[in-house]
A and B are shown apart, each in its own frame.
Chain A
Amino acid sequence: MAETALQLEHITKTIGGLTILDDVSLTVMPGERRAVIGPNGAGKTTLLNVIAGFLPPSRGRVVVFGRDVTRLPAHRRVDVGLLKTNQQPAVFRELTVRQNILLALLRGRHPLLGLTALVSLDREVQRQAEDVLEEWDLLAVADDEVRHLPHGYQRRVELAARFAMQPRLLLLDEPAAGLAAEEIPGFIERLRRLPREVTVVLVEHSMRVVFAFADRVTVLHHGAVLADGTPEAVQQDERVQEAYLSGAMRRGHA
């Protein structure tokens, strides 16, 4: 059997007596694009945080590329090739775009926590940063602080930094949220250009993005896996339609 990219085994997460995740198991193969969907409050973001190491699971195991990372702190999971983006872009708002990219490129590059090298004198990393900025069309705003930029730019900075670190497993938490409608096709195009060496787990509300990008879809409902399959199969699944519909009726919107 080929090594799996991500394997969740019976993940349960309870917070203050409330079960957020209930015995979630799923397997993602290398190179796969997996979407996790579900109504609000289904536990999707919690699931990503458990995988990335920001929340310890109450029970169960997280295995990334054959390695049990359940007890590993978040920063050590980056060594395994795991990176995550957040709903609010995970950027440093008062740093410049260039500094944001440099932080990604400088991680673990110099000994003694980076005390041994001046950033401005590391020509190679400066050049790499320049390349990343150019590739993501961020050169014009390279020396502006991120907080001054529109949301779409901030998202681009976040993704550019993560892609620059060449992850093997990328977790995207609602990356299309907050993007303007006309920005979404370009965004999907970016995701599609990711090499197949990268495995992607995507939580997304925009069905447009999910169906354009995902190979398989996992549906979470009340913290448990409701359905798992190709986008078409999941779309036809009656339980899924019911879950979404009942959620819509209860909340008065889709």
Chain B
Amino acid sequence: MPMEQMSRLRQRWQLLAYVVAVAALLLAPAVLSTYPLSVLTEILIFGLFAMSLNLLLGYTGLPTLGHSAFFGAGGYVVGLLAKYYQVPLGPALLLAILAGVVLALVTGPIVLRTSGAYFLMLTLSLTQVLFGVVWLARGVTGGDDGLPGIPTPQLAFLAGSLEPTANFYYLALAIVVVAIASMAWVVRSSFGLALLAIRENERVVEGLGYPTWLVKYAVYALAGGYGALAGALYTFFKGYVGPGQLSWLVAGEGLVMTIVGGAGTFWGPMVGAAVVLLLRYEVSTFTQRWLLILGLIFIATVVLMPRGIVRLPERLREVRARVRREELLEPVAGERQPAEQVVERS
């Protein structure tokens, strides 16, 4: 069948793209100097953050403006553990993920009573509460000074042969790749399909016998875990964690990355993270007004490519498919009654 051949061809191209991307990422430290490599590290970390947010916004249709709560929680957990208790990397990251999941499980029953704009406002306000708590708990969190001097972990077996930036880059790359692979499993599982369906019409999912509340609760917890992992990496990367990492501005930036790249697509948020951060670091070298340019790009993508940058090829395919479908349905369309055409237009 030509359809199957086409999808097989697409799969082969996809595989090739993955191989090229992985090779490029592995070789990056050999080519890039310290500064661009640190930007790339930050792109990977924020990409993971935006992808975790995308589980809620893009896949389940839950717009959150409080995802920085998890990003900050993960950061403070590894920050406190590494600074005061010298907890090694692995356990510290696992505890950070756990903290994100627990935070989501605690706040979930509150925020998941709502959806849409109310969900957005509730997640925002809960995050602001957390921000306030961290700000006031000066004895533990350092208040607005945050926790400086957090040692950046290194891959021991590369410690001698690589300088620290490249070493941490490989460490972050490995963790982000594993996290993304597990996320790919989630969205391709039958759970992932149920998420898409909830985004489309939660009531119909309920009518098909899915416990929709529980599914949303589970994805909220997962997104919290991934978000906290990204936050933990970010804290290690900066060697510092402060209340700014909890700020809703970070959550908003995650939203922009997700929407620009393509909410509901798998790689879109990663692409969005790259776009936003490259703009910030590259454009800001010749103008202070990089936010203005980001704003214009944001408007342009939302207007011209409402489903994000990575949907562009898909959009072209869609147009072709529509032409094909119109040919297919032509005989039916001709006989249709006026009443039905009205239904279709509405």
Query: Chain A interface (Cβ within 8 Å of chain B)?
Result: 52, 54, 73-76, 78-79, 83-84, 86, 90-95, 99, 102-104, 106-110, 112-120, 122, 140-141, 143-144, 148, 150-152, 161, 165, 178-182
> Are A180 and B337 neighbours in the complex by a CB distance under 8 Å?
yes
> Are B194 and A150 neighbours in the complex by a CB distance under 8 Å?
no
0/1 string, B169-205, CB within 8 A of A gives 1: 0000000000000000110111111101101110111
> Are A113 and B218 neighbours in the complex by a CB distance under 8 Å?
yes
Q: Pull 22 A–B residue pairs with CB atoms less than 8 Å apart, ordered by A.
A: A74-B207, A75-B209, A78-B207, A79-B209, A83-B208, A84-B207, A86-B207, A92-B196, A92-B200, A99-B196, A103-B205, A106-B190, A108-B209, A113-B194, A119-B189, A119-B193, A144-B321, A150-B340, A165-B208, A178-B343, A179-B340, A180-B335
Asked if A91 meets B210 with Cβ closer than 8 Å, knowing A118-B185, A141-B325, A178-B339, the reply is: no
Q: Which residues of A contact B329 (CB under 8 A)?
A: 150
Return the chain A residue nearest B217 by Cβ.
Answer: A113
Which residues, 326 to 346 on B, are CB-close (under 8 Å) to A?
Answer: 328-329, 332-333, 335-337, 339-340, 343-344
> Are A150 and B207 neighbours in the complex by a CB distance under 8 Å?
no
Cα A151 to Cα B194 with chains together (Å) = 23
Cα A143 to Cα B317 with chains together (Å) = 13
Q: Determine whether B206 belongs to the interface, using a CB cutoff of 8 Å to chain A.
A: yes
Q: Which residues of A contact B337 (CB under 8 A)?
A: 180-182
Cα A91 to Cα B138 with chains together (Å) = 52
User: Would you give the shortest CB distance from B106 to chain A, in whole angstroms?
Assistant: 20
Asked if A118 meets B188 with Cβ closer than 8 Å, knowing A75-B209, A90-B201, A92-B201, the reply is: yes
> Are A116 and B189 neighbours in the complex by a CB distance under 8 Å?
yes
Asked if A93 meets B344 with Cβ closer than 8 Å, knowing A150-B329, A180-B337, A181-B337, the reply is: no
> Are B215 and A113 neighbours in the complex by a CB distance under 8 Å?
yes
Instruction: Give the residue of B188, B201, B204, B208 whose beta carbon is less than 8 angstroms from that of A119.
Output: B188
Return the chain A residue nearest B337 by Cβ.
Answer: A180
Q: Which residues of B contact A103 (CB under 8 A)?
A: 193-194, 197, 205, 208
> Are A115 and B200 neighbours in the complex by a CB distance under 8 Å?
no
Q: Determine whether B3 belongs to the interface, using a CB cutoff of 8 Å to chain A.
A: yes
Q: Determine whether B113 belongs to the interface, using a CB cutoff of 8 Å to chain A.
A: no
Return the chain B residue nearest A92 by Cβ.
Answer: B200
Cα A83 to Cα B208 with chains together (Å) = 7
Return the chain B residue nearest A112 by Cβ.
Answer: B191
Q: Which residues of B contact A144 (CB under 8 A)?
A: 321, 325
Return the chain A residue nearest B211 by Cβ.
Answer: A75
Task: Tell me the number of A-to-B contacts counted with CB atoms below 8 Å.
Answer: 125
The 8 closest A-B pairs by CB, nearest first: A78-B209, A114-B190, A92-B200, A114-B191, A106-B190, A180-B337, A90-B204, A115-B191
Return the chain A residue nearest B205 by Cβ.
Answer: A103
Q: Which residues of A contact B191 (CB under 8 A)?
A: 112-115
> Are B3 and A143 neighbours in the complex by a CB distance under 8 Å?
yes
Q: Which residues of A contact B215 (CB under 8 A)?
A: 113
Q: Which residues of A contact B320 (CB under 8 A)?
A: none
Q: Determine whether B127 belongs to the interface, using a CB cutoff of 8 Å to chain A.
A: no
Q: Which residues of A contact B188 (CB under 8 A)?
A: 118-120
> Are B196 and A152 neighbours in the complex by a CB distance under 8 Å?
no
User: Would you give the shortest CB distance from B9 to chain A, in whole angstroms?
Assistant: 15
> Are A180 and B328 neighbours in the complex by a CB distance under 8 Å?
no
Asked if A102 meets B207 with Cβ closer than 8 Å, knowing A150-B340, A180-B339, A182-B335, the reply is: no
User: Would you give the shortest CB distance from B344 to chain A, in whole angstroms?
Assistant: 6
14 A-B pairs besides A113-B214, A114-B191, A178-B343 with CB distance below 8 A are: A54-B207, A78-B207, A78-B209, A91-B204, A92-B196, A93-B201, A103-B205, A107-B210, A113-B191, A113-B194, A113-B211, A150-B329, A165-B209, A180-B337
Cα A103 to Cα B185 with chains together (Å) = 17
Instruction: Give the residue of B200, B209, B332 whose beta carbon is less than 8 angstroms from that of A95.
Output: B200
User: Would you give the shortest CB distance from B212 to chain A, in whole angstroms?
Assistant: 7
Q: Which residues of A contact B218 (CB under 8 A)?
A: 113, 115
Q: Which residues of A contact B322 (CB under 8 A)?
A: 148
Return the chain B residue nearest A83 by Cβ.
Answer: B207
Cα A152 to Cα B337 with chains together (Å) = 11
> Are A110 and B190 neighbours in the complex by a CB distance under 8 Å?
yes
User: Would you give the shortest CB distance from A254 to chain B, in whole angstroms?
Assistant: 16
Return the chain B residue nearest A52 by Cβ.
Answer: B207
Cα A141 to Cα B332 with chains together (Å) = 14
Q: Which residues of A contact B328 (CB under 8 A)?
A: 140-141
Cα A165 to Cα B204 with chains together (Å) = 14
Asked if A180 meets B336 with Cβ closer than 8 Å, knowing A102-B193, A150-B329, the reply is: yes
Instruction: Give the residue of A95, A118, A140 whose beta carbon is less than 8 angstroms from that of B189.
Output: A118
Asked if A150 meets B344 with Cβ closer than 8 Å, knowing A103-B193, A180-B336, the reply is: yes
Cα A102 to Cα B192 with chains together (Å) = 12
Cα A109 to Cα B206 with chains together (Å) = 16
Q: Which residues of B contact A106 (CB under 8 A)?
A: 190, 193-194
Cα A140 to Cα B344 with chains together (Å) = 20
Return the chain B residue nearest A89 by Cβ.
Answer: B204
> Are A151 and B344 neighbours in the complex by a CB distance under 8 Å?
yes
> Are A114 and B207 neighbours in the complex by a CB distance under 8 Å?
no
